[in-house]
Chains A and B, each alone.
Chain A
Amino acid sequence: MVTNFACLQTTLHNFVLFFTITFLVQFKTHSYLCFIKILKSSVTLFTMETEQKSIRALKCEQSVLSRADGSVMFSQGNTVVMASVYGPLEAKIQKELSDRMYVEVNYKPKTGMPGVAERGKEKLIKTTCNHIILTNLHPRTAVCITIQEMQDGGTLLSASINAVCLALLDSGLPLQCLVAAVTCLVDKKDKIILDPCIRTVKEGYKAMFTFAFDSQKYNLILSHCEGQVPYQLFQEAMELCQKASHIIFDFYRQAVLRKFSKELL
């Protein structure tokens, strides 16, 4: 019985791997986002557990834009965003800060002009960036971060923060630590769902949380909440997201490792 179970597990695991690979191939041929270097994270290990306890597959391609100082195309499940970093640049006179760098964040929606919701996202990303960039090393300069939404599969805010972190890593700006953002929601049955897809979000929820953690001690940097739930549930959701942030930090390390693979020898 035990051997049978183990066998079943391996086949299940193989199936998951196979599924991911076929998905990648389909993605490559069909979609207009032609990923050249596809980085697969260690997420497959976690898909073995129940679906609520894992985050969706992470992929990224670094230095996608030729003229940006740092750029990345990042996807988390079906959510795809592109982030670019320009800087340190010369700051406009009215934006210049005499002791540190000015961080400007632009969030571009898929269609139309950025509205109030986008401005809100910009503000959240800006405060996060101000926390992780060592802004005092480049006084009187500005850094311009642009995020282009490519495909909405839910959790755009956390995907944007993760994409910005990868773009900052690509640009080589001095950082204090890294940041990883995870979204989770509490559905109508009080069940916590980690990294929900767009369908789950549209089904309705009691509350949705986005948390961002730093890479040193996994401390909370940003918390963004919608809805009302008991404090107990909030605490539980935060702990779950904190655990899930480790996957994202591992993914960052793999992405950088891939970038420097030729020089490590």
Chain B
Amino acid sequence: MAEKSFSTHVNQIYLPGDSVVLSKTDENSNAKIVLGPGLRKYGKQILVTKPGILRTKSSPPTYWIDCHHRRYVPARGDDVIGVVTNKVGESYKVYIGSSEEASLSSIAFPGATKKNKPNIQIGDLVFAKLLIASADMEPELVCVNSLGENVGLGVLSTNGFLFTVPLHHIRKLLNPECTLLKSLGKALPFEIAVGMNGKIWIKAKSVKQTITLARAISMSEHMNKEEMNQLCKKFIDRQAGF
């Protein structure tokens, strides 16, 4: 730990309680430095709060810890998949995997008015964006953008399949460099909704194909790029009957 405090070790393991030293260029520049998840300022020190790998990016200089999670903590702007559990007056209660259920107003749908409400039953799945996510308040979901337009959010059809994966796996799948979903899609066309809360909804032409895809996605958790390509090939071959 002692030698760690002398230089910045980007892409190295950090444990809670370790201190991070900024790189020379960032320390001398006047630009504001952004501390992302897993880091906190304590006096003049920057301390780590979560175990993981230190990552950085420039303009603006940003530091964060890449950590493994299973439990979702709401963050503003995240797209999540939730299960409608209750209807309270004009709004629905939606379970998104966090400590508190989120609320979703029945007016926050594209084209919805006080009289023209969407048809949502208890148990339906919704793909929505988090509008309010604060530690002290109930999270609030919306299915429209700020102009009230349709942006691909809303109720998910009932003939799909929902499953849960760890949150770090979701981040890996949504990384533009990850080709898993694209290469699977070339062989087996499917519809997918990926929620930042670890829930994935998937729908393919047949039930068999849906299950194959769901299995391929959840199995790729501990795989790198090459292994993912191999897995894709294996699953597609098996699907074709080899």
A interface residues (Cβ-Cβ under 8 A, vs B): 68-70, 86-91, 132, 134, 137-142, 169-178, 214-216, 252-253, 256-257, 259-260, 262-265
Contact = CB atoms under 8 A, between A and B. Distances in A.
Interface in B1-24: 1, 11-13, 15-17
B52 interface: yes
Given A138-B73, A172-B68, A175-B50, A262 B17 contact: no
B68 A259 contact: yes
B13 A69 contact: no
A145 to B, nearest CB: 13
A173 B67 CA distance: 10
Contacts of A172: 50-52, 67-71
Q: Closest 7 A-B residue pairs measured CB to CB?
A: A177-B17, A175-B16, A174-B49, A141-B99, A69-B71, A172-B69, A88-B99
Most A Cβ at <10 Å: residue of B12, B47, B49, B224:
B49
Contacts of B38: 174
A137 B135 contact: yes
B17 A169 contact: no
20 contacts: A88-B99, A134-B40, A134-B49, A140-B100, A140-B136, A169-B15, A172-B50, A172-B68, A174-B16, A174-B38, A174-B49, A176-B17, A177-B16, A178-B15, A178-B17, A214-B17, A215-B16, A256-B52, A260-B53, A260-B68
Given A141-B99, A260-B52, A171 B70 contact: yes
Contacts of A171: 69-71
B136 A256 contact: no
A87 B47 CA distance: 22
B66 interface: yes
Contacts of B67: 172
State which size class the interface on B falls in: 20 to 34
B114 interface: no
B13 A175 contact: no
B222 interface: yes
A265 B224 CA distance: 10
Contacts of A260: 13, 52-53, 68
Contact of A139 (B40, B68, B136): B136
Contacts of B224: 262, 265
A102 to B, nearest CB: 11
A252 B50 CA distance: 13
Contacts of A265: 224
A175 B47 CA distance: 10
Contacts of B15: 169, 178, 215, 252-253, 256
Contact of B70 (A69, A177, A253, A263): A69
A229 to B, nearest CB: 31
Given A141-B99, A265-B224, A169 B16 contact: yes
B71 A264 contact: no
B16 A176 contact: yes
B181 to A, nearest CB: 19
B49 A256 contact: no
Contacts, number: 92
A88 B53 contact: no
Nearest to B227: A262
B99 A256 contact: no
Contacts of A175: 16-17, 49-50
Interface string B38-51: 10100000010111
A93 to B, nearest CB: 13
B53 A264 contact: yes
A191 B73 CA distance: 50
A124 B100 CA distance: 29
A256 B71 contact: no
A265 B1 CA distance: 21
Interface in B219-233: 222, 224
B161 to A, nearest CB: 18
A263 B224 CA distance: 8
Given A174-B50, A264-B12, 16 more contacts: A87-B71, A138-B73, A140-B100, A141-B99, A141-B100, A169-B15, A171-B69, A171-B70, A175-B16, A175-B50, A176-B16, A214-B17, A216-B17, A256-B52, A260-B13, A265-B224
Contact of A257 (B13, B16, B40, B69): B13
B11 A264 contact: yes
Contacts of B11: 264
A177 to B, nearest CB: 3
Contacts of A263: 53, 66
Contacts of B136: 139-140
Contacts of B100: 90, 140-141
